[in-house]
A = this chain, B = another copy of it.
Amino acid sequence: MKPIKVGLLGIGTVGGGTYTVLKRNQEEITRRAGRGIVVTMIADRDLDRANSFADSGVVVTGNAQDVIANPEIDIVVELIGGTTIAKDLVLAAIAQGKHVVTANKALLANHGTEIFSAARGKGVMVAFEAAVAGGIPIIKALREGLTANRIEWVAGIINGTANFILSEMREKSLPFAPVLEQAQKLGYAEADPTYDIEGVDAAHKITLMSAIAFGVPVQFDKVYMEGITKLTQEDISYAEELGYRIKLLGITRRVEKGIELRVHPALIPANRLIANVEGVMNAVMVKGDAVGATLYYGAGAGAEPTASAVIADLVDVARVQTADPANRVPMLSFQPDALTDTPILPMEEVETACYLRLQVIDKPGSLAEISRVLADFNISISAVIQKEVTSEGGPVNVIMLTHKNPEKDMNAAIARIETLSIVTGRVTRIRIEELEG
């Protein structure tokens, strides 16, 4: 069979990795795919960078439209990132009848509906394994490997930067700020780390997984997002004493009233496998009604791990490009006419157990007063621990673990507790996820 011709848009970290791995493993990949997968064009604003990769015969251009307009190109790989230029280029490639492979989670989370619909209109595929959890083949697992299942929930450590920071805070008993600084020095966090530490990147990824797990449209505007910037080393160590690890989780779950879609730090029982995923590594748990709990672990970022996913998509697309679109694996797992309008639940309606830390003036009746407020909102307590005095003669840290309750009740209870004269400062609330198999 004749080789598939690929045009790369952007040859930064992932683009460079893709070019390198495709070249290095050309023989191995061809032995599997039954045909070569060859990059014949590279577009990058930085022509020197592009030329430093390009072997002889590979056309380098500063204009991405040259790649899209070239009738020789079978598949366009978009590795530019962002939601503006990348969007125009992806739509232009689709309009030209090109298949698209992309690692761009922000683009698909924000404009997925428009992009997938355009692709269906032209009978081409938009593949995005590399957009979620880097080299872990989690999109394939959800979309094909677990296709027999009614998915109950997906929960993942899907931002390596945030996980690195939390691992370091726990292992070295350090506060957030210096660890973030260290992550930046090591290249694990960007100069502007907002997307990673505020949960935006994880939210992009869980939005995509939610769509393919449950057959609902991509709805990034509905994700609840809470980052890790307010986590203290104190809470991490109390959690550990209680048998939990704190991780930034992306979670999507089907419940009776709708679908939960959220990113926030969570206490996970320390004996769960996923609680032991440390450093920049990623892991995604998927619970299906037939298979039970499964877990997928690997590098969630980096040049070659992400390239591994990009190239897997290239091979998949090469295999099915000639097939009747109706026989292809649907891009979003479910047939486009079989999506449901199950609502994404507002966070107020989500029910979770919680870890609460309060600074309480230590006098008789304090705990009773707090417990009464919780009881008023039907929140029952599973454990109370009084910790050491935070400063000489000052308030003591009281940790409470609660059973599951709707978020809106917990919000109201916390607001009321913060008005009590025996409570100083804000109440720290971190949700608990048991992630039982």
Contact = CB atoms under 8 A, between A and B. Distances in A.
Given A147-B312, A295-B298, A298-B295, A290 B135 contact: yes
Contact of A308 (B146, B295, B297): B146
Contacts of A323: 320, 322-323, 327
Given A290-B304, A322-B327, A140 B145 contact: yes
A281 B295 CA distance: 11
A315 interface: yes
A236 interface: no
Interface stretch (A21-29, A111-119, A200-208, A255-263): A21-29
A338 to B, nearest CB: 4
A338 B294 contact: no
Contacts of A135: 288, 290-292, 294
Interface in A401-437: 437
Interface residues of A, number: 70
Contacts of A296: 294-297
A141 interface: yes
A289 interface: yes
A148 B307 contact: yes
B335 A144 contact: no
A194 interface: no
A293 interface: yes
Interface in A289-321: 289-299, 302, 304-305, 307-312, 315-316, 319-320
Nearest to A296: B296
A113 to B, nearest CB: 18
Best-buried of A147, A320, A437 by chain B (most CB within 10 Å)? A147
Interface stretch (A31-39, A60-68, A220-228): A31-39
Contact of A1 (B293, B294, B326, B437): B326
Contacts of A289: 24-25, 304
Interface string A246-268: 00000000000000000000000
A358 B25 CA distance: 46
Contacts of A1: 326
A389 interface: no
Contacts of A34: 326-327, 330, 335
A327 to B, nearest CB: 5
Contact of A25 (B148, B277, B297): B148
Contacts of A144: 137, 140, 312, 315-316
B326 A147 contact: no
A293 B280 CA distance: 13
Interface string A360-378: 0000000000000000000
Each complex incorporates copies of this chain amounting to 2
Nearest to A316: B144
A253 to B, nearest CB: 16
Contact of A334 (B31, B293, B308, B326): B31
A222 to B, nearest CB: 21
Contacts of A315: 144, 147-148
B150 A145 contact: no
A215 interface: yes
Contacts of A305: 290-292
A171 to B, nearest CB: 11
B311 A148 contact: yes
A324 B322 contact: yes
Given A141-B141, A276-B273, A31 B294 contact: no
A110 B17 CA distance: 39
A28 B294 CA distance: 19
A333 B33 CA distance: 8
Contacts of A28: 149-150, 215
**Closest 9 CB pairs between A and B?**
A137-B145, A148-B311, A294-B298, A135-B291, A31-B338, A291-B308, A295-B297, A290-B304, A290-B308
20 contacts: A24-B150, A28-B215, A29-B148, A31-B338, A32-B147, A33-B147, A135-B288, A135-B291, A144-B312, A148-B310, A273-B273, A273-B276, A290-B304, A291-B305, A292-B304, A292-B305, A293-B298, A322-B323, A322-B327, A323-B323
